[in-house]
Amino acid sequence: MQYEKDDPKGYYAALGLTSTSDDENIKAAYRRRAMHLHPDRNPEKNTTQQFQFLNEAYAVLSDPTSRAEYDQTATSQTAESPSAPEPIKCSRCGKVSAQPRVVVFRSVKSFVLVTLRKPIIGIFCSDCAQKQSLKASASSWLLGWWGFPWGPIYTVQALFTNMFGGVHPPLDNAKMLGYQAYYFYATGRPDLAKSLAESAVKYCKKIPETLARKGAEENQRDSLLSNLEAFIRELGASSKSSQLKSTWGAIHARFFVHLGAIVAVVGVIAIAISNLPESRYSPPRGPMPYSNQPLVSANNGLGGVGSPMVADSSSQKVASKKAPYVRPKNAPNGRPWPVTASYLTGEPQTHTAGHSEVTIDNSQNNSDMHLKLVALEGKVARPVRQVFIPAHSKFTIKNLTPGSYDVRYRDLKYGYLSRSESMKLTETSTYRGTEYSVMALTLYKVVNGNAATFGLAEDEF
């Protein structure tokens, strides 16, 4: 592409086209360049001058008569010598760079219930990009956390985005590098021009196909790629690309400054949390004091007034250092575990003077369960039934006396202890007979489950 002969004033170059481009390509190229160079969208200092020159070029090339005169002037070579295009400069330091990039950094500011995410967009050299990433991250560190609930989430996203060099929009970078390649070509540096054009091709190939639009801008990705490859072929016969060492790796010079700040803050938070007494998890206590000994009456264990068999409180204290859990071979009373879902042999069954029922569903669990139904009455909560329920099984506890209960169970595979929320069983006599409670409890956590569960301390089982 002989731009100096075919394009004496640089009008085609301003649009990124050649003298063979048709009217539709001229219109499409003008729209793209106008959006990129508009002073309200582009923070670069000299965009106003470039935007005016772009309008001048489009005014001439979009009119068939003036375009014909311009092309004729180029052919006869009576026009004045073409002026060199203006280079694209770093929007931070203002210098012309051989490796500029369009980069987007993230900055977050939060105010209690309001969280604002601000993109910081510019054309940067690599050194200025690293400085800008630190500035955006520092702002987010100071002001990003204080909004609920999005402040911490957006701040973490911004910090990691900035740490890895920001976002490089492929379409914008392909266009910008293509233009910068032409600048170096026009100023007598075909080696740099070819290297930049090859970088532009790499970005162009990263552009998603979905960015191709309908109508005049249809297949802009393919059109841009075709122009860049033609430009490289034209340069290939007379020049070699300058082997520039890329300064845009993800692990850049200031990467470890970002990483060190994150590690330091996370470490301080972790140490502070670990030193808080509240950080050591302690399961919530049950609604009342508990004894693991049932209250048995003299009338065949049907629940009544008798001598309380309260376990020694010292035996309920949990050792400071627990041994690893091993599934017990037998039930706590020394007898073998039942083969099927049933009550534990030898354990009293109290509170049997009623009609209410509680079904324990362990069908969705792959662990066997040792379960206790606990009566929440009097001054001390006590177990009234003890049940073994194999994995993938159910069991119904029947003939329960009205009152308040909860369910406490141990996962025999892993040793975990859990407690259900309290439930109230009632009985009412009506003309149709006795109406009583029928409840079901599923022993695993599900969305919208029918009961909440809590962790359980060893001395409450």
10 three-state secondary structure? coil
Percent of the chain with pLDDT over 70: 81
Query: For the stretch 99-123, what's the b/e string if a residue is b when 16 or more beta carbons lie within 10 angstroms of its beta carbon?
Result: bbbbbbbbbbbbeeeebebeebbbb
Between CA 370 and CA 238 the distance in angstroms is 84
Given the structure tokens 């993230």, which residue do they identify?
106
Between CA 166 and CA 43 the distance in angstroms is 17
Given the structure tokens 């180029």, which residue do they identify?
74
Predicted local distance difference test score (pLDDT) of residue 308: 40
What pTM, to 2 d.p., does this model score? Answer: 0.45
Between CA 224 and CA 218 the distance in angstroms is 11
Q: Write the pLDDT tens digit of every residue in 220-267.
A: 778 888 889 888 888 875 556 556 677 787 777 778 888 888 888 777
Q: Write the pLDDT tens digit of every residue in 146-190.
A: 988 898 999 999 999 999 999 999 989 999 999 999 999 888 888
Beta partners for residue 411, in sequence order: 369
CA 415, chain centre distance (Å):
33
Amino acid code (one letter) for 20: T
C-alpha radius of gyration, the chain, whole number: 39
Which domains can be identified in the chain, with CATH numbers? Answer: 1-86 (1.10.287.110), 101-168+252-270 (no CATH), 326-460 (2.60.40)
- Give the contacts of 64 (CB within 8 A, at least 6 positions apart): none
Confidence of residue 450 (pLDDT cuts 50, 70, 90): low
Query: Residue 140 pLDDT more than 70?
Result: yes
Q: Residues 133, 162: contact at Cβ < 8 Å?
A: yes
Distances (CA, A) of 454 to 207, 270, 282, 419: 51, 25, 11, 5
Confidence of residue 84 (pLDDT cuts 50, 70, 90): low
Mean pLDDT of all residues belonging to the chain: 82
333 three-state secondary structure? coil
- 66 vs 387 pLDDT, higher one: 387
Of the segments 251-255, 302-306, 419-423, which one has the largest average pLDDT value?
A: 419-423
Strands 382-389 and 342-343, by their bridges, are: antiparallel
Question: Residue 65: what are its φ and ψ, rounded to 5°?
Answer: -70, -50
**Mean pLDDT (whole number) for 121-133:** 92
Predicted local distance difference test score (pLDDT) of residue 2: 41
Q: Write the pLDDT tens digit of every residue in 378-408.
A: 999 999 999 999 999 999 999 999 999 999 9
DSSP string, 284-305: PP-SS-B-SS----TTTTS--S
Confidence of residue 21 (pLDDT cuts 50, 70, 90): confident
Confidence of residue 16 (pLDDT cuts 50, 70, 90): confident
Confidence of residue 276 (pLDDT cuts 50, 70, 90): low
Query: For the stretch 411-424, what's the b/e string if a residue is b when 16 or more beta carbons lie within 10 angstroms of its beta carbon?
Result: bbeeeebbbbebbe
Name the token pair of 388: 């073994």
Between CA 343 and CA 371 the distance in angstroms is 9
Q: Residues 371, 408: contact at Cβ < 8 Å?
A: yes
- 77 vs 100 pLDDT, higher one: 100
- 461 vs 240 pLDDT, higher one: 461
Predicted local distance difference test score (pLDDT) of residue 211: 53
Between CA 379 and CA 395 the distance in angstroms is 29
Name the token pair of 329: 């071979």
Between CA 99 and CA 184 the distance in angstroms is 12
- 315 vs 383 pLDDT, higher one: 383
- 23 vs 297 pLDDT, higher one: 23
**Mean pLDDT (whole number) for 194-198:** 90
